Structure formats: C-alpha cells, structure tokens
Copies of this chain bind each other. A is one copy, B any other.
Amino acid sequence: MKEKFKVRTDLALEAREDIQMSDSELDGVIVEEKMNSHANIHVIKLTITNEHGAKLLKKPVGTYLTLEAPDMVQPSEEYHREISCVLAEYIKDLIRPYWREDGISILVVGLGNREVTPDALGPNVVNNIAIQRENEVDNQKISISGIVPGVMAQTGMETAVIIKGVVSETMPDVVIAIDALAARNSKRLNTTIQVTDTGIHPGSGVGNHRRAITKESIGTNVIAIGVPTVIDTPTIVYDTLENLLKALSVSEHFKSVSDTFHRFNNDEKYQLIREIINPEMSDMFVTPKDADETIKRIGYTISEAINIAANS
C-alpha cells in the first residue's frame, strides 16, 4: 500500500483523505453522504467498523459525523440557527442509546483554556448552555449540567481525572465534550464540526490532552464535538513543501528534484520536515487573526444545538 505521509489531524475525514484508495477498497471504513434540507450545510458520516479501518485511519472504531458549513465564519444569525438545527439532529442520534426509560442526564464538558482565543471554544459552549435540573419534557426528566475543567497548566491535574471525579459523583448518562481541534487544511478552520461517539484521544486538539477522555477513562459514555480552530505548524511546513515540489515540477530544470522527492518514502520526508522545522515551532499554533468573534459565535451555535438535541 502506497500512502501519503500522514500529517497529524484530529478530523477522521482528513485522515480518510490521506489514504489513496477508493471507498470500496477500504475494508473497515464506510463513508456516506447524509442529505439534509439545508443548502449550504454538508454532512458526511464516516464509520470505522473494525480494527483494520481503525489502524488505517489511526482513529478508534466508531461513528464520525462531519458537518461542513463553509459560511460558519460569517455572522449570519439565521445560518447559524440552521447549523444548530442540523447539528442537533446528529447529536440526538448519537445520544439516543444513552437515554434511560425516564429521561437522560447530560454533562457538557468545555475542554480547553478560556484565556487562549482558539482554545476557548469548549468554555464558550458551557458559558452559553442552558443548565437544567430534571426538567420535565414529555414525561421525561432531562438534566443538563456543565463544567469547564481548565487545562493542566492552570490546574496541575489531568483533565480526564477531573472529569472522572465529577462523573463518579454525579453519574451522568453521557458526557458531551467540546474541544478545539487541529486541522490539516486551512479551509476547514472554523467551518467544520466533527461529532463522534469515540471520545477524545491523546494528542488531539489545541491543548494536547495527554490522556484519552473516553468511557474507559472517565466512566461514562462520551460524545465528542470538535471544531478545528488551529493548524499545527508542521502542517504548514508540509503544505509548503508539497507546494514547493509542485512548483518545482513545472520547471524543466527542477523536475528531476521534484521527482527525486516523490521517490522518497514517508519516513524520509518526515525526517526532512523534522530537520527543516525550527524546534520552537512545535509548541506554537497558527490561527486566523479574527478568531475571537468567530469562535464565540460557533460556541453559541453548538450550545444551541445541545439544548435542542436534549429537549426535543
């Protein structure tokens, strides 16, 4: 199997795109387009059905819904309401298995650092969530609670450990964890929402959680909602390199160089990137200059979706 060098991405869909195989060839990975009535919101459902697919995409077995809303960076209130409604449907689908006979109790966890703009998505969602204590809706008792655990630099504790403690005391049926993700492609920044029933895994997100936030680690079911708000600096280096090679291949003079590069295997390319990137860069991220307003808006949109999903 010839595969491209995989740049780190938190999005299953991007991981899929890295594999140069047709859907039919991909054992353990099913990709379906979900139709919905909203013109400019596109939903793709990617299911990893077995360990082979998990290994291929370097993501755990489970369902990954990707909602692409290219205008999400725009301040249109109406469009954001539509996104909330579409997202609510998919959240409803994913939490359905966790309802008890007489209701559901949901703990919304806002991961990330509220003081760092692109990492504040999760805290923003919890700030906007409509907390409710055993509200009666159609004879069902629905509770929504929320917490912003903070990041390890602020608390000195693993985030997963804090959540596990709160879960063990309050016993929610499901945790919905919101996190800012890293994307590979700058076009996905603040335009894509990924919802998954697989939880959150080490190395994901802006804050690089060190431990997984999954049913195993925190003791209850986990739905993870993520939005790419940053690009890792190695991604930019990789993109630059690829673009450079493309540019070189046009010129007759450089064609041989470009060809040589493409004969490199992934490990060789990776070594080269490791060499040419500044070591300081690995602790940095790339983010749009107007991220603050955008991320507040998306946080509000996601909190609305959770409210709708729980109460309808």
Q: In the complex where A146-B155, A147-B150 touch, is A289 in contact with B206 (Cβ < 8 A)? A: yes
Q: Which residue of B lies closest to A276 (CB)?
A: B243
Chain B residues in 8 Å Cβ range of A275? 243, 247
A167–B162 CA distance with the chains assembled, in angstroms:
9
A4–B226 CA distance with the chains assembled, in angstroms:
42
A75–B254 CA distance with the chains assembled, in angstroms:
49
> Does A113 count as interface, using CB distance less than 8 angstroms?
yes
Contact residues, A265-299 vs B (CB, 8 A): 272, 275-278, 280-281, 283-293
Chain B residues in 8 Å Cβ range of A284? 186, 231, 286-289
Q: What's the least CB distance linking A208 to chain B, in Å? A: 8
> Does A26 count as interface, using CB distance less than 8 angstroms?
no
Q: Interface size of A by Cβ–Cβ distance < 8 Å?
A: 71
> Does A3 count as interface, using CB distance less than 8 angstroms?
no
- Are B117 and A131 in contact, CB atoms less than 8 angstroms apart? no
Q: What's the least CB distance linking A34 to chain B, in Å? A: 27
Query: Pick the contact of A240 from B143, B231, B276, B293 — CB < 8 Å?
Result: B276
Contact residues, A78-132 vs B (CB, 8 A): 113, 115-117, 126-127, 130-132
A244–B311 CA distance with the chains assembled, in angstroms:
47
Q: What's the least CB distance linking A108 to chain B, in Å? A: 9
Residues in chain A within 8 A of chain B (CB atoms)? 75, 113, 115-117, 126-127, 130-133, 143-150, 153-157, 161-162, 164-170, 186-187, 189, 206-208, 231, 233, 236-237, 239-241, 243-244, 247, 253-254, 257, 260, 272, 275-278, 280-281, 283-293
Q: Offer 27 A-B interface pairs, CB within 8 angstroms, sorted by A.
A: A113-B292, A115-B117, A115-B292, A131-B154, A145-B157, A146-B154, A147-B149, A147-B155, A147-B157, A148-B148, A157-B170, A161-B166, A165-B170, A166-B166, A186-B278, A186-B281, A189-B280, A206-B289, A233-B286, A237-B240, A240-B241, A240-B276, A243-B275, A247-B275, A284-B286, A284-B287, A285-B286
